[in-house]
Amino acid sequence: MAKCDEGYRCEVCGGDVTSIIDSDLYLRFVIGELDPEILHTSPERHLRCNPVLSQFIRCDGFESIAVEGDFGAEALDPEFVENRINLVTRGYLRLQEIAASEHDGDVTRYPLPEAIDRYRRG
């Protein structure tokens, strides 16, 4: 985690976010929605504490989340939902790869390839 040994506290529930695979912050970074320059200063949440994002994760071992209302997948454009499921699920799988690897802590190599390209273009 970017804050070394102290970890992050979830801004929603106040609990510790102890693993990268539970991190809304790192998922947003990996999929290209969080500028690397503000990664270390951005608020953290558990994935389950951000259901609007987490509802798009489709992965064995991740319990599905349903969001009611205007921001729920059922209320959104089907093509957008399909693209969002693809991106967010790929990002979640990338978090699992990072957690399972002997990575060197170089967070610049965490994002998906298209996010790295977007970050480099500025």
Spatial separation of the C-alpha atoms in residues 71 and 122, rounded to whole Å: 28
Q: What does pLDDT average to over the chain?
A: 91
Looking at per-residue pLDDT, the higher value among 119 and 97 belongs to 97
Residue 107: per-residue pLDDT: 86
- 65: Cβ contacts below 8 Å, ≥ 6 apart: 48, 51, 54, 55, 57
Q: Where are the domains of the chain?
A: 4-121
4: pLDDT strictly greater than 50:
no
The H or E element containing residue 90 is helix 78-100
Q: Residue 103: pLDDT band by 50, 70, 90 thresholds?
A: low
The phi, psi pair for 46, rounded to 5°, reads -70, 150
120: its two tokens: 């480099």
pLDDT digits (tens, 9 = 90+) for 52-84: 999 999 999 999 999 999 999 999 999 999 999
